[in-house]
Structures are given as C-alpha cells and as structure tokens.
Structure 1
C-alpha cells in the first residue's frame, strides 16, 4: 500500500507542475493578448493617419502641378495677346506664384509627416509580431503540457517549459520594447 500512495503522490506532484505551468502561461498569454490588442489599435490608427497624410501630400502635389501649368498658360496667353501683359495678367501670375511657393513649402513637410506614420506603423508591427510569436509558442507549450499530463512523461513537460520560456521571452520583448525579432518565425507564420 505504501507503494501505491507513493505513486499517487508522484502523480499529484507531476500534475501540480503541469497545472502551474498551464496557469502561469495562460495568465501571461492573456496579458500579452491585451497588450497586442492595444498595439493593433495603434497600428490601425497609424495606418489611417498615414493614408490621410499621403492623400494630403498627393493633393498638394496635384494643386502645385495645376497652378504651375496655369501660370505657364497665363504667361503664354499674355505673350500671344501682345507685347505688354495686362495688369490683370500680372496679378494672376503673381497670385499663382504665391500659391506655387506655398505648395512647394508644404510638400516636403507633408511627405515627412506621412513617412513618420509609416515608420510608426513598422515599429509597432515588430512588437505585434513579437506578441504573435509569443502567443504561438505559449499555445504550443500549453498543448504539450496537456499531453504531458495525460501520458505522464517528464520529457514532454520539459519540452513544454522550453516552448513556454521562448514564448515568455518573446512576450517580454514586446512589453519591454526589445528589438528581438525572429525573422524565421515571422516568415513561417506571416
């Protein structure tokens, strides 16, 4: 009977380690999921702002082109009308010149702003990938832990811990802003 109690105690100890593993990894995965959701929202906002900024840049470039063309046409029409341009033509050429100067000043700022949103999106995407990798690795770890509990093989629990540790590292990289990024994992999962 002592042998049976010892075997039963061993099973409980092993199952406790499995249960603690599953609970700890599940809690960490839940926290990572919340942070990842916030990152995805920030990515969507950056992408939306970037699209708006690129549209504004493109519209300004179009207005610049239209005004440059209009200015050239006004000058050509004035030249074909006679040697001396009319005062109204001078005023229009001056007005168009002012608009052209304004657009030329705006274009580099709008481009830099749009590129900034693109860079923000890319930076956030790195952390999103880290949380995705963490989620995948921890899911694998929990699955292996479940199998370990069923078959009661310590090697399976160790494998679960290895995958769990990698998942926690990737999750911490996302939380702490580390530049740790698995290109292989992203390529496989992306």
Structure 2
C-alpha cells in the first residue's frame, strides 16, 4: 500500500480563507450593482421632481394669464352693460343690437377663459402630484445609497481582516439598502422620519 499523504493544516487554512475571500468579493460585486441601480433611481427621481416642478410652475403662469384675461373680459362686460343701461333711452335700436351682440361675444370669451383656466389648473395639480411623489421617493434612494456604500466598505474590510462578523454586518447593511432602494421605486411603505 502507498503512503497516505495528510494535508498541511496551513494549506487548508489558506484554501478556506481564499474561498471566503472569493465569496465575499462576489457578494461585494452584487452590492456595487445594487448601488448603481440605487444611484440611477435617485438621479431619475430628482430629475423627474425638478422637471415636474418646472412644468407645474409654467402651467401656473399660464393659468395666471388666463385668469387675467378672464377678468379683463369680465370688466369689459360690466363696462358695456353700464353703457347699455346709461344710454338705453337715447340709443338707436341698431346700436343697441350691436352693443348687446358685443356683450354676448365678450361674455363668451370670458367663459372660454374660465373653462381653459380650469383645464390648466388640473394639469398643474397633476404635475405637482408627480413632483410630490418623486420628492417622496428621493430620501429612500439617498439612504439606500449610504447603506450600500457602507456595505461595500465593510465587505472590503471583511476580506482584509478575514472577519465573518464584519461581513455579516455588511450583508445586513446591504439588505437594508436594497429594501430602501426597492421602496424608492415602488413606495410600498412610508418611514415617518423620511416624510
């Protein structure tokens, strides 16, 4: 029979540490991918929030313009009605007819601006809701990024120190960061300190 060669304990320890290092490195790469997805979500939420705010501001300015025109037409209606009342007795029938037609046209314009401003108001409020939704998402992405960055650093430290406890801490931070990232996209729950 041949001699049985016993493995060297130092080689076994090195092999065990290399396996741990490879696994932690692989998981760390997944942390980095999750961090990239989180950063993308945060950037997109911030851009969407700013764009919706700008568009809402534009709509409110348009709304104000419609309100001003509506008031101008309302004032013109009052002016024409007063003119009609003050000169009713001495006014020729054809002039009176023209004045009444003018009052009718001015009232129609006033009503048109009133309808248009309501549509614009609805659009502005919808844009404000979109802004608010993206504003609510942003803090979740921010905290998720922080937790995932901490996870990356702690995973690197666990490789250098061969510490499983440090790796489990990194794993916990990454899981919390991932949950917050998913919530940033879907808003499944609300944390009171982020509202």
- Shorter-chain-normalised TM-score: which range? 0.7 to 0.9
Gaps of 5+ in 2: 1-6
- SS at 1:179's partner residue? coil
TM-score (norm. length: structure 1): 0.81
Deviation digits for residues 108-130 of structure 1, max 9, x if unmatched? 22211111111122223333333
CA drift at 1:20: 1.9
Show the 5 A alignment for 1:1-190.
2-81=8-87, 83=89, 86-87=95-96, 88-175=98-185, 177-184=186-193, 186=194
Q: Name the stretch that deviates more: 49-58 or 143-152.
A: 143-152
**Retained in 2: the 8 A contact 1:130–1:181?**
no
Count residues with an aligned counterpart. 185
Instruction: Give distance in 1, aligned partners of 2:90 and 2:178.
Output: 79
What root-mean-square deviation, in Å, do the aligned CA atoms of Structure 1 and Structure 2 show? Answer: 2.5
Q: Is the 8 A contact 1:170 1:180 kept in 2?
A: no
- Offset of residue 26 of structure 1: 0.3
The answer to whether the Cα contact below 8 Å between 1:39 and 1:124 also exists between their aligned partners in 2 is yes
**5+ unaligned residues in a row in structure 1: which ranges?**
none
Partners in 2 of 1:50 and 1:179 — Cα distance?
A: 26
Alpha-carbon separation, structure 1, partners of 2:176 and 2:24: 17
Whether contact under 8 Å (1:130, 1:173) holds in the other structure is: yes
Q: CA deviation at 1:81?
A: 4.5
Length-normalised TM-score, structure 2: 0.79
Contact kept? 1:67, 1:96, Cα under 8 Å: yes
Distance 1:103 1:71 in 2: 14
Q: CA deviation at 1:64?
A: 1.0
